[in-house]
Structure 1
Amino acid sequence: MTSPEVHTTGIGRRERKRQQVRDQLYGIAIDMFTRQGYEATTMDHIAERADVARATVFNHFTQKTGFLEEWGARRRARVLEILRQEHVEDLPVEDRLRRYVGELATLNIDSRAETAVLMEASARFGQLLRDPTPELALAGIIADGVSRDEVRPGVDPAEAGSLIAAGYFASVIRWAGAEPEPFDLRERLDGMLDIVLGGILA
Protein backbone atom coordinates (compact mmCIF):
# COMPACT_ATOMS: atom_id res chain seq x y z
CA MET A 1 0.00 0.00 0.00
CA THR A 2 1.72 3.18 -1.14
CA SER A 3 1.29 6.57 0.44
CA PRO A 4 -1.28 9.04 -0.90
CA GLU A 5 -0.21 11.75 -3.29
CA VAL A 6 1.18 14.96 -1.91
CA HIS A 7 -1.34 17.78 -1.49
CA THR A 8 -0.91 20.18 -4.41
CA THR A 9 -3.48 22.93 -3.76
CA GLY A 10 -2.15 26.45 -4.15
CA ILE A 11 0.76 25.72 -6.51
CA GLY A 12 1.18 26.58 -10.18
CA ARG A 13 0.30 24.32 -13.09
CA ARG A 14 3.93 23.52 -13.92
CA GLU A 15 4.79 22.59 -10.36
CA ARG A 16 1.55 20.62 -10.05
CA LYS A 17 2.43 18.65 -13.19
CA ARG A 18 5.92 18.04 -11.87
CA GLN A 19 4.49 16.76 -8.58
CA GLN A 20 2.13 14.46 -10.47
CA VAL A 21 5.05 12.92 -12.36
CA ARG A 22 6.98 12.54 -9.13
CA ASP A 23 3.99 10.85 -7.46
CA GLN A 24 3.64 8.50 -10.44
CA LEU A 25 7.30 7.52 -10.34
CA TYR A 26 7.17 7.07 -6.57
CA GLY A 27 4.09 4.85 -6.72
CA ILE A 28 5.55 2.70 -9.49
CA ALA A 29 8.89 2.33 -7.71
CA ILE A 30 7.34 1.31 -4.39
CA ASP A 31 5.10 -1.22 -6.15
CA MET A 32 8.05 -2.71 -8.05
CA PHE A 33 10.24 -2.84 -4.95
CA THR A 34 7.49 -4.66 -3.09
CA ARG A 35 6.76 -7.13 -5.89
CA GLN A 36 10.24 -8.00 -7.14
CA GLY A 37 12.64 -6.64 -4.53
CA TYR A 38 14.61 -3.44 -4.10
CA GLU A 39 17.90 -4.71 -5.51
CA ALA A 40 16.22 -6.37 -8.49
CA THR A 41 14.55 -3.11 -9.53
CA THR A 42 16.62 -0.59 -11.47
CA MET A 43 15.99 3.01 -12.42
CA ASP A 44 15.65 1.78 -16.02
CA HIS A 45 12.88 -0.61 -14.93
CA ILE A 46 11.04 2.25 -13.24
CA ALA A 47 11.39 4.48 -16.31
CA GLU A 48 10.14 1.71 -18.61
CA ARG A 49 7.13 0.96 -16.41
CA ALA A 50 6.28 4.69 -16.18
CA ASP A 51 6.83 5.10 -19.93
CA VAL A 52 9.18 8.04 -19.43
CA ALA A 53 12.79 8.73 -20.34
CA ARG A 54 15.45 7.46 -17.94
CA ALA A 55 16.54 11.07 -17.43
CA THR A 56 13.06 11.93 -16.16
CA VAL A 57 13.42 9.47 -13.28
CA PHE A 58 16.84 10.89 -12.36
CA ASN A 59 15.43 14.41 -12.61
CA HIS A 60 13.05 13.59 -9.75
CA PHE A 61 15.11 11.03 -7.82
CA THR A 62 18.84 11.40 -8.37
CA GLN A 63 19.52 8.03 -6.70
CA LYS A 64 17.42 4.94 -6.13
CA THR A 65 17.79 5.49 -2.39
CA GLY A 66 15.79 8.69 -2.89
CA PHE A 67 12.67 6.53 -3.13
CA LEU A 68 13.49 5.03 0.28
CA GLU A 69 13.87 8.48 1.82
CA GLU A 70 10.60 9.61 0.25
CA TRP A 71 8.87 6.47 1.56
CA GLY A 72 9.92 7.21 5.14
CA ALA A 73 9.08 10.89 4.87
CA ARG A 74 5.60 10.25 3.48
CA ARG A 75 4.78 7.73 6.18
CA ARG A 76 5.86 10.10 8.94
CA ALA A 77 3.93 12.95 7.32
CA ARG A 78 0.81 10.79 7.20
CA VAL A 79 1.08 9.96 10.89
CA LEU A 80 1.66 13.59 11.85
CA GLU A 81 -1.37 14.66 9.79
CA ILE A 82 -3.56 12.07 11.53
CA LEU A 83 -2.38 13.25 14.93
CA ARG A 84 -2.82 16.90 13.97
CA GLN A 85 -6.42 16.27 12.95
CA GLU A 86 -7.06 14.55 16.29
CA HIS A 87 -5.45 17.45 18.23
CA VAL A 88 -3.29 15.07 20.23
CA GLU A 89 -1.05 17.96 21.29
CA ASP A 90 -3.56 18.50 24.10
CA LEU A 91 -3.00 15.00 25.48
CA PRO A 92 -0.48 14.06 28.20
CA VAL A 93 2.98 13.18 26.89
CA GLU A 94 2.54 9.44 27.53
CA ASP A 95 -0.67 9.32 25.50
CA ARG A 96 0.94 11.34 22.68
CA LEU A 97 3.90 8.99 22.49
CA ARG A 98 1.64 5.95 22.44
CA ARG A 99 -0.57 7.49 19.74
CA TYR A 100 2.45 8.42 17.59
CA VAL A 101 4.07 4.99 17.82
CA GLY A 102 0.68 3.30 17.54
CA GLU A 103 -0.15 5.05 14.26
CA LEU A 104 3.24 4.03 12.86
CA ALA A 105 2.49 0.46 13.91
CA THR A 106 -0.86 0.60 12.09
CA LEU A 107 0.85 1.78 8.89
CA ASN A 108 3.29 -1.11 9.07
CA ILE A 109 0.60 -3.69 9.79
CA ASP A 110 -1.64 -2.43 6.97
CA SER A 111 1.22 -2.71 4.46
CA ARG A 112 3.35 -5.53 5.86
CA ALA A 113 4.75 -6.78 2.52
CA GLU A 114 5.78 -3.26 1.56
CA THR A 115 7.22 -2.62 5.00
CA ALA A 116 9.26 -5.82 4.93
CA VAL A 117 11.00 -4.88 1.69
CA LEU A 118 11.33 -1.14 2.17
CA MET A 119 12.40 -1.23 5.83
CA GLU A 120 15.16 -3.74 5.12
CA ALA A 121 16.30 -1.78 2.07
CA SER A 122 16.26 1.45 4.06
CA ALA A 123 18.41 -0.14 6.75
CA ARG A 124 20.90 -1.62 4.26
CA PHE A 125 21.12 1.03 1.58
CA GLY A 126 19.42 4.16 2.89
CA GLN A 127 19.69 6.49 5.84
CA LEU A 128 17.16 4.73 8.07
CA LEU A 129 19.36 4.45 11.16
CA ARG A 130 21.13 7.77 10.55
CA ASP A 131 18.11 9.93 9.77
CA PRO A 132 17.42 12.09 12.85
CA THR A 133 13.87 13.02 11.80
CA PRO A 134 11.99 10.33 13.79
CA GLU A 135 14.09 11.03 16.87
CA LEU A 136 13.41 14.76 16.57
CA ALA A 137 9.64 14.21 16.36
CA LEU A 138 9.71 12.04 19.49
CA ALA A 139 12.07 14.44 21.26
CA GLY A 140 9.64 17.28 20.56
CA ILE A 141 6.84 15.41 22.29
CA ILE A 142 9.06 14.64 25.27
CA ALA A 143 10.27 18.24 25.46
CA ASP A 144 6.63 19.34 25.71
CA GLY A 145 6.28 16.88 28.58
CA VAL A 146 9.29 18.43 30.30
CA SER A 147 7.77 21.91 30.02
CA ARG A 148 4.52 20.60 31.55
CA ASP A 149 6.33 18.81 34.39
CA GLU A 150 5.11 15.45 33.07
CA VAL A 151 8.67 14.20 32.63
CA ARG A 152 11.11 13.93 35.51
CA PRO A 153 13.82 16.61 35.73
CA GLY A 154 17.11 15.71 34.13
CA VAL A 155 15.68 13.69 31.24
CA ASP A 156 17.27 14.69 27.93
CA PRO A 157 14.45 14.77 25.33
CA ALA A 158 16.86 14.09 22.46
CA GLU A 159 18.35 11.06 24.18
CA ALA A 160 14.93 9.71 25.15
CA GLY A 161 13.63 10.27 21.62
CA SER A 162 16.65 8.41 20.22
CA LEU A 163 16.02 5.49 22.56
CA ILE A 164 12.36 5.16 21.54
CA ALA A 165 13.19 5.48 17.84
CA ALA A 166 15.84 2.75 18.13
CA GLY A 167 13.38 0.46 19.91
CA TYR A 168 10.75 1.13 17.27
CA PHE A 169 13.00 0.37 14.30
CA ALA A 170 14.50 -2.73 15.92
CA SER A 171 11.02 -4.10 16.64
CA VAL A 172 9.65 -3.38 13.16
CA ILE A 173 12.66 -4.86 11.37
CA ARG A 174 12.40 -8.08 13.40
CA TRP A 175 8.61 -8.26 12.95
CA ALA A 176 8.68 -7.62 9.19
CA GLY A 177 11.63 -9.90 8.47
CA ALA A 178 10.11 -13.19 9.62
CA GLU A 179 7.25 -15.41 8.49
CA PRO A 180 4.89 -15.91 10.16
CA GLU A 181 4.83 -12.74 12.24
CA PRO A 182 6.97 -13.51 15.30
CA PHE A 183 4.94 -11.28 17.62
CA ASP A 184 2.10 -8.77 17.76
CA LEU A 185 3.72 -5.51 16.67
CA ARG A 186 1.36 -3.22 18.59
CA GLU A 187 1.88 -5.19 21.81
CA ARG A 188 5.65 -5.23 21.34
CA LEU A 189 5.86 -1.47 20.75
CA ASP A 190 3.51 -0.75 23.65
CA GLY A 191 5.65 -2.94 25.90
CA MET A 192 8.78 -1.13 24.72
CA LEU A 193 7.17 2.19 25.68
CA ASP A 194 6.22 0.74 29.09
CA ILE A 195 9.88 -0.02 29.77
CA VAL A 196 11.15 3.37 28.50
CA LEU A 197 8.52 5.38 30.34
CA GLY A 198 8.66 3.39 33.55
CA GLY A 199 12.32 2.41 33.70
CA ILE A 200 13.61 -1.05 34.59
CA LEU A 201 14.74 -0.71 38.19
CA ALA A 202 12.46 -1.55 41.10
Structure 2
Amino acid sequence: MKISEAEAEAVPAAPPTGRRERKRQQVRDQLYAAALHLFVTRGYEATTMDQIAETADVARATVFNHFSQKVGFLEEWGVRRRARVAEILGAEHAEDLPVGDRLRRYLKEMADLNAASRAETAVLMDASARFGRVLQDPSLETELAKIVEEGRQRGEIRTGVDPDQAGTLLAACYFSTILRWIREEPAPFDLHQHLAGALDIILPGLLVNQANDEEA
Protein backbone atom coordinates (compact mmCIF):
# COMPACT_ATOMS: atom_id res chain seq x y z
CA MET A 1 0.00 0.00 0.00
CA LYS A 2 1.39 3.37 -0.98
CA ILE A 3 1.13 6.11 1.63
CA SER A 4 0.98 9.68 0.35
CA GLU A 5 3.51 12.32 1.39
CA ALA A 6 0.73 14.22 3.13
CA GLU A 7 -0.20 11.12 5.16
CA ALA A 8 3.41 10.51 6.14
CA GLU A 9 3.87 14.10 7.24
CA ALA A 10 0.68 13.89 9.28
CA VAL A 11 2.14 11.29 11.65
CA PRO A 12 2.74 12.97 15.03
CA ALA A 13 6.22 14.52 15.19
CA ALA A 14 6.84 13.52 18.83
CA PRO A 15 6.05 9.80 19.25
CA PRO A 16 5.50 8.34 22.72
CA THR A 17 8.71 7.43 24.53
CA GLY A 18 7.67 4.17 26.21
CA ARG A 19 8.05 0.93 24.27
CA ARG A 20 4.38 -0.03 24.68
CA GLU A 21 3.23 3.48 23.79
CA ARG A 22 5.44 3.52 20.68
CA LYS A 23 4.02 0.18 19.57
CA ARG A 24 0.47 1.38 20.11
CA GLN A 25 1.15 4.56 18.14
CA GLN A 26 2.73 2.54 15.35
CA VAL A 27 -0.40 0.41 15.03
CA ARG A 28 -2.62 3.49 15.12
CA ASP A 29 -0.57 5.12 12.36
CA GLN A 30 -0.80 1.90 10.34
CA LEU A 31 -4.58 1.80 10.70
CA TYR A 32 -4.87 5.49 9.85
CA ALA A 33 -2.81 5.12 6.67
CA ALA A 34 -4.79 2.03 5.63
CA ALA A 35 -8.11 3.80 6.18
CA LEU A 36 -7.11 6.88 4.17
CA HIS A 37 -5.86 4.69 1.34
CA LEU A 38 -9.18 2.85 1.20
CA PHE A 39 -11.28 6.00 1.53
CA VAL A 40 -9.51 7.56 -1.45
CA THR A 41 -9.50 4.45 -3.65
CA ARG A 42 -12.90 2.95 -2.76
CA GLY A 43 -14.82 5.82 -1.17
CA TYR A 44 -15.66 6.48 2.46
CA GLU A 45 -19.11 4.86 2.46
CA ALA A 46 -17.91 1.75 0.62
CA THR A 47 -15.04 1.12 3.05
CA THR A 48 -15.69 -1.16 6.03
CA MET A 49 -13.81 -1.60 9.27
CA ASP A 50 -13.09 -5.19 8.19
CA GLN A 51 -11.39 -3.91 5.04
CA ILE A 52 -9.33 -1.48 7.08
CA ALA A 53 -8.21 -4.33 9.35
CA GLU A 54 -7.32 -6.48 6.36
CA THR A 55 -5.36 -3.72 4.64
CA ALA A 56 -3.48 -2.89 7.84
CA ASP A 57 -2.92 -6.63 8.46
CA VAL A 58 -4.35 -6.58 11.99
CA ALA A 59 -7.25 -8.25 13.75
CA ARG A 60 -10.67 -6.64 13.43
CA ALA A 61 -10.78 -6.03 17.18
CA THR A 62 -7.57 -4.02 16.92
CA VAL A 63 -9.28 -1.46 14.70
CA PHE A 64 -12.02 -0.93 17.27
CA ASN A 65 -9.45 -0.66 20.07
CA HIS A 66 -8.09 2.44 18.35
CA PHE A 67 -11.12 3.78 16.47
CA SER A 68 -14.49 2.80 17.91
CA GLN A 69 -16.29 4.15 14.82
CA LYS A 70 -15.29 4.75 11.22
CA VAL A 71 -15.95 8.45 11.68
CA GLY A 72 -13.04 8.45 14.11
CA PHE A 73 -10.65 8.32 11.15
CA LEU A 74 -12.18 11.55 9.83
CA GLU A 75 -11.66 13.23 13.18
CA GLU A 76 -8.08 11.95 13.31
CA TRP A 77 -7.47 13.40 9.84
CA GLY A 78 -8.49 16.85 11.05
CA VAL A 79 -6.43 16.56 14.21
CA ARG A 80 -3.31 15.56 12.29
CA ARG A 81 -3.69 18.33 9.74
CA ARG A 82 -3.98 20.97 12.44
CA ALA A 83 -1.04 19.43 14.28
CA ARG A 84 1.05 19.54 11.10
CA VAL A 85 0.26 23.21 10.58
CA ALA A 86 1.08 23.96 14.22
CA GLU A 87 4.40 22.14 13.79
CA ILE A 88 5.30 24.13 10.66
CA LEU A 89 4.37 27.48 12.16
CA GLY A 90 6.09 26.65 15.43
CA ALA A 91 9.34 25.93 13.57
CA GLU A 92 9.03 29.30 11.85
CA HIS A 93 8.23 31.12 15.13
CA ALA A 94 5.06 32.43 13.52
CA GLU A 95 3.83 33.52 16.95
CA ASP A 96 6.13 36.52 16.57
CA LEU A 97 4.32 37.73 13.45
CA PRO A 98 1.65 40.44 13.53
CA VAL A 99 -1.74 38.81 14.04
CA GLY A 100 -2.93 39.49 10.49
CA ASP A 101 0.15 37.87 8.97
CA ARG A 102 -0.14 34.98 11.40
CA LEU A 103 -3.72 34.28 10.37
CA ARG A 104 -2.69 34.42 6.73
CA ARG A 105 0.16 31.98 7.36
CA TYR A 106 -2.11 29.57 9.23
CA LEU A 107 -4.71 29.42 6.47
CA LYS A 108 -2.01 29.29 3.79
CA GLU A 109 -0.45 26.21 5.39
CA MET A 110 -3.86 24.57 5.65
CA ALA A 111 -4.44 25.36 1.99
CA ASP A 112 -1.01 23.98 1.09
CA LEU A 113 -1.86 20.62 2.70
CA ASN A 114 -5.19 20.50 0.89
CA ALA A 115 -3.76 21.48 -2.49
CA ALA A 116 -0.94 18.94 -2.17
CA SER A 117 -3.47 16.12 -1.80
CA ARG A 118 -6.66 17.36 -3.43
CA ALA A 119 -8.07 13.88 -4.11
CA GLU A 120 -7.65 12.94 -0.47
CA THR A 121 -9.07 16.25 0.71
CA ALA A 122 -12.08 15.90 -1.57
CA VAL A 123 -12.99 12.49 -0.15
CA LEU A 124 -12.18 13.16 3.50
CA MET A 125 -13.62 16.67 3.74
CA ASP A 126 -16.81 15.69 1.94
CA ALA A 127 -17.22 12.67 4.23
CA SER A 128 -16.47 14.84 7.27
CA ALA A 129 -19.18 17.30 6.23
CA ARG A 130 -21.75 14.56 5.60
CA PHE A 131 -20.98 11.97 8.26
CA GLY A 132 -18.67 13.67 10.76
CA ARG A 133 -18.77 16.75 12.92
CA VAL A 134 -16.43 18.99 10.97
CA LEU A 135 -18.93 21.85 10.86
CA GLN A 136 -19.78 21.46 14.56
CA ASP A 137 -16.30 20.66 15.84
CA PRO A 138 -14.92 23.82 17.48
CA SER A 139 -11.26 22.78 17.18
CA LEU A 140 -10.34 25.05 14.26
CA GLU A 141 -12.43 27.89 15.69
CA THR A 142 -10.53 27.52 18.95
CA GLU A 143 -7.12 27.61 17.22
CA LEU A 144 -8.01 30.74 15.25
CA ALA A 145 -9.65 32.41 18.26
CA LYS A 146 -6.44 31.83 20.23
CA ILE A 147 -4.45 33.67 17.57
CA VAL A 148 -6.93 36.56 17.63
CA GLU A 149 -6.85 36.67 21.43
CA GLU A 150 -3.05 36.85 21.46
CA GLY A 151 -3.27 39.68 18.94
CA ARG A 152 -5.80 41.43 21.16
CA GLN A 153 -3.43 41.20 24.12
CA ARG A 154 -0.75 42.90 22.00
CA GLY A 155 -3.11 45.70 21.02
CA GLU A 156 -3.42 44.64 17.37
CA ILE A 157 -7.14 43.82 17.47
CA ARG A 158 -9.90 46.41 17.57
CA THR A 159 -11.61 47.08 20.90
CA GLY A 160 -14.88 45.23 21.10
CA VAL A 161 -13.87 42.34 18.85
CA ASP A 162 -14.81 39.01 20.45
CA PRO A 163 -11.97 36.53 19.71
CA ASP A 164 -14.35 33.56 19.88
CA GLN A 165 -16.71 35.15 17.37
CA ALA A 166 -13.76 36.05 15.13
CA GLY A 167 -12.53 32.44 15.31
CA THR A 168 -15.98 31.18 14.35
CA LEU A 169 -16.14 33.57 11.40
CA LEU A 170 -12.67 32.63 10.15
CA ALA A 171 -13.31 28.90 10.51
CA ALA A 172 -16.66 29.18 8.72
CA CYS A 173 -14.96 31.07 5.89
CA TYR A 174 -12.28 28.36 5.64
CA PHE A 175 -14.69 25.42 5.60
CA SER A 176 -17.13 27.00 3.15
CA THR A 177 -14.24 27.79 0.79
CA ILE A 178 -12.81 24.26 1.02
CA LEU A 179 -16.21 22.64 0.46
CA ARG A 180 -16.78 24.73 -2.66
CA TRP A 181 -13.26 23.93 -3.88
CA ILE A 182 -13.58 20.14 -3.55
CA ARG A 183 -17.06 19.66 -4.99
CA GLU A 184 -16.22 20.58 -8.57
CA GLU A 185 -13.76 18.99 -10.97
CA PRO A 186 -11.45 20.48 -12.02
CA ALA A 187 -10.94 22.84 -9.10
CA PRO A 188 -13.23 25.84 -9.74
CA PHE A 189 -10.79 28.42 -8.39
CA ASP A 190 -7.34 28.96 -6.92
CA LEU A 191 -7.70 27.95 -3.27
CA HIS A 192 -4.87 30.12 -1.97
CA GLN A 193 -6.07 33.17 -3.84
CA HIS A 194 -9.64 32.72 -2.68
CA LEU A 195 -8.70 32.35 0.99
CA ALA A 196 -6.38 35.36 0.76
CA GLY A 197 -9.20 37.37 -0.81
CA ALA A 198 -11.57 36.39 1.98
CA LEU A 199 -9.03 37.53 4.57
CA ASP A 200 -8.71 40.85 2.73
CA ILE A 201 -12.40 41.35 3.50
CA ILE A 202 -12.39 40.04 7.08
CA LEU A 203 -9.15 41.45 8.51
CA PRO A 204 -10.04 45.16 8.22
CA GLY A 205 -12.86 44.46 10.65
CA LEU A 206 -10.45 42.92 13.15
CA LEU A 207 -7.19 44.83 12.97
CA VAL A 208 -6.60 48.17 14.63
CA ASN A 209 -4.37 49.70 11.94
CA GLN A 210 -6.48 48.54 9.01
CA ALA A 211 -9.64 49.76 10.71
CA ASN A 212 -8.04 53.18 11.21
CA ASP A 213 -6.85 53.23 7.59
CA GLU A 214 -10.38 52.51 6.40
CA GLU A 215 -11.82 55.30 8.56
CA ALA A 216 -9.14 57.75 7.32
Same fold (TM over 0.5): yes
Once the 2 structures are TM-superposed, how far is the Cα of residue 7 of structure 1 from its aligned partner? 3.7
Task: Tell whether 2:144 aligns with 1:128.
Answer: no
- Residue number in structure 2 paired with 1:13: 19
> Which segment drifts farther, 7-16 or 118-127?
7-16
8 A Cα contact 1:89 1:96, kept in partner: yes
Task: Tell whether 2:207 aligns with 1:196.
Answer: no
Find 1:26's aligned residue among 21, 25, 32.
32
Find 2:83's aligned residue among 77, 87, 97.
77
Aligned counterparts of 1:21 and 1:9: Cα–Cα separation in 2: 12
Find 1:152's aligned residue among 146, 158, 167.
158
Aligned counterparts of 1:165 and 1:109: Cα–Cα separation in 2: 18
Cα gap change, 1:195/1:8 in structure 2, threshold over 3 Å: closer, same or farther? closer
Cα gap change, 1:9/1:183 in structure 2, threshold over 3 Å: closer, same or farther? closer
Find 1:86's aligned residue among 84, 89, 92.
92
Cα gap change, 1:109/1:9 in structure 2, threshold over 3 Å: closer, same or farther? closer
Aligned counterparts of 2:57 and 2:188: Cα–Cα separation in 1: 40
Give the number of aligned pairs: 201
TM norm structure 2? 0.90
**Deviation readout 1:107-129 (Å, 9 max, x if unpaired):** 00000000000000001111101
Structure 1 unaligned spans of 5+ = none
8 A Cα contact 2:141 2:168, kept in partner: yes
Cα gap change, 1:133/1:183 in structure 2, threshold over 3 Å: closer, same or farther? same
8 A Cα contact 2:16 2:25, kept in partner: no
TM norm structure 1? 0.96
In the TM superposition, structure 1's runs of 4+ consecutive aligned residues that sit over 6 Å from their partners are: none
Structure 2 unaligned spans of 5+ = 206-213
8 A Cα contact 1:3 1:74, kept in partner: no
Once the 2 structures are TM-superposed, how far is the Cα of residue 147 of structure 1 from its aligned partner? 1.1
Task: Tell whether 2:196 aligns with 1:180.
Answer: no
Find 2:107's aligned residue among 101, 107, 123.
101
Instruction: Output aligned runs, 1:30-45, within 5 Å.
Output: 30-45=36-51
DSSP 3-state at the match of 1:80: helix
> Which segment drifts farther, 78-87 or 45-54?
45-54
8 A Cα contact 2:15 2:25, kept in partner: no
8 A Cα contact 2:16 2:22, kept in partner: no
Aligned counterparts of 2:47 and 2:108: Cα–Cα separation in 1: 31
DSSP 3-state at the match of 1:59: helix
- Residue number in structure 2 paired with 1:119: 125
Once the 2 structures are TM-superposed, how far is the Cα of residue 6 of structure 1 from its aligned partner? 2.3
Aligned-CA RMSD value: 1.4
